[in-house]
Structure 1
């Protein structure tokens, strides 16, 4: 490896939550090409496991704190500008708005801003910033729902400059990590004979576990004997949700497990996975449940309908009766087989093919597209 090689600069706010895997996903787009990837984490201490998990040729930890990330961020811009001069960078990929802002100000590179949430460009100041750098700024949403939200905020932009690149999952790696149904239930302390509805997420209004508890309570008499609802995660609504389960008379059947490290390893403990979020931008947890071959239920909001396609069961957002009906329907459903769906839409290979098409459309890196 030489600094004279062509390089791609990837800038991430940090590596918390899903963003380490986001860095891996985008670095892997250049596997098999002559491009090297330098990934920069603006916040977070240096960590050997994060470095290994980034799938990059080089990783830099700038270690900035939350105070440094406010305001004009001049120190960070200077650091990124210095890095950008250190080798032959051809492209910058920036995750979330602050890294996109920094990338545009610190470099003269084409910048692909990856957007993982709704509402990123609803602020006037951000719309103005995007307009200022429009000639070299391209925007991606992690779902068509996010893409369309950005397009509605930037109506003067050509639609072709605001596109979708789905999140994806390393299917084989996650499969190898997931433990058997019996071992997963042992680890989580769940009865082996129970029929288990699983949910994983923060206990937050956005995740709407209240609707899930109400729907489960309404469906309980139609579900198999020993049915339980298992909620994995922590958050400020825990006491309120526990009180709701007690009020509905199902407190013994609703189990709050708190935070479970690397929860995706234990998804086979569930018989069905249910997502009730109100506006999930994508729903990475759905891909993890697919790897476990679980039947899936989801509200019809955000990016979840795209992720599930025609094979999942949707219910109108917040509709307790519809959710209860769907739960009763899947109680007799056999384990699902999502592998073909995952390979076609949410694998690293599918992402490379899509990304290569986008680069061609945008006229970038014409000398060598990403390998399929």
Structure 2
């Protein structure tokens, strides 16, 4: 940990729980809010060892790994609080952005900074202890949800908080760096070769954990009903792994010919392969945001999204939403396969960008009454 004292340059502390899954890109997104400003960003990972790829992906002026174990981040988290306090004493920090409940808790106890807590999941305030804690610090804590659905869920968990300031809860959508994402994506031919997919087939795809929340069972049934009206030789391709691997394969064997469905298992950096698809379908019961839809749109792939999934429906346009039953899904898949123009692409890809988020974030700082020097 760097202990060089810097009391002149203003720093923003970004504190996140882990470096797996989407959280490195979340760190990049929030570091990007301060690009071309006088503020430097120090991103701190509560768990996980130093990793060069994480450092590069965080796009921050400095990256610190507290390297706490699962056991150490249970209970009072005194060791993590002490480490963070020592870091805070090394320079002039003016704001903390904390992702998820544990970093919010540690940041509030380790500092006197204004803290913006970012929530990426539903149900974060179902525990009374968390509700009690953040209420205690409401004067210097503001909350962000990554979608309107996330904020609605936070409010739903707070019915006994009539005095929680309405202006200190707001939405700041997740976003993608379109240029970087498109540069990472393989061509249609390359992606199909690497995934082992036929060059001329119509590919309907889903990417996600094989878990009840993702509801790939609905996807299989919907595709089975739509298949005869889709281009000849259509193939359903499911990327991901999880505890429903065997049941979903059994359902697919009942509903579909073996040549019309492919389970590809876990594929690292799956977003690189999206140009292999002709249609992307999101059947999740719950999505706080649904960044996978933007990854599909950036590849030029038409999307179909379940209308009651939460944040995902906020990303997709009304014309590509379907009700949570196989017949509605089948009709949406057929309609999308027959459509040639998707004007919602441009609107969505402009709305969910770093540039748009910077404009929104400046307004939110005023709304939260956070005045940076």
TM range, smaller chain: over 0.9
**Does 2:296 match 1:292?**
no
**Does 2:183 match 1:176?**
yes
Within-5 A mapping of 1:21-170: 21-154=25-158, 155-156=161-162, 157-170=164-177
1:38-77: CA deviation from partner (whole Å, max 9, x where unpaired): 1100111101111111111111011111111111111001
Contact 1:215/1:320, CA 8 A, preserved across alignment: yes
Query: Counterpart of 1:305?
Result: 313
Within-5 A mapping of 1:204-219: 204-219=211-226
Contact 2:298/2:349, CA 8 A, preserved across alignment: no
Within-5 A mapping of 1:193-204: 193-204=200-211
Residue 337 of structure 1: how far off its partner (Å): 5.7
Q: TM-score, normalized by length of structure 2?
A: 0.95
Contact 1:90/1:365, CA 8 A, preserved across alignment: no
Within-5 A mapping of 1:4-23: 4-23=8-27
Contact 2:297/2:349, CA 8 A, preserved across alignment: no
Residue 343 and residue 248 in structure 1: after superposition, are their counterparts in 2 closer, same or farther (change >3 A)? closer
Alignment partners' CA distance in 1, 2:297 and 2:354: 15
Residue 339 of structure 1: how far off its partner (Å): 5.3
Picking from 259, 264, 283, the partner of 1:257 is 264
Q: 5+ residue gaps in structure 2?
A: none
Contact 2:315/2:348, CA 8 A, preserved across alignment: no
Residue 10 of structure 1: how far off its partner (Å): 0.6
Contact 1:171/1:347, CA 8 A, preserved across alignment: yes
Alignment partners' CA distance in 2, 1:303 and 1:111: 24
Query: Counterpart of 2:228?
Result: 221
Residue 102 of structure 1: how far off its partner (Å): 0.6
Residue 152 of structure 1: how far off its partner (Å): 2.3
Contact 1:360/1:366, CA 8 A, preserved across alignment: no
Query: Counterpart of 2:356?
Result: 350
Alignment partners' CA distance in 2, 1:195 and 1:283: 23
Alignment partners' CA distance in 2, 1:340 and 1:86: 44
Q: TM-score, normalized by length of structure 1?
A: 0.95
Q: 5+ residue gaps in structure 1?
A: 368-372
Alignment partners' CA distance in 1, 2:336 and 2:344: 15
Residue 292 of structure 1: how far off its partner (Å): 0.7
* Aligned positions, number: 365
Contact 1:197/1:270, CA 8 A, preserved across alignment: yes
Runs (4+) off by over 4 Å: none
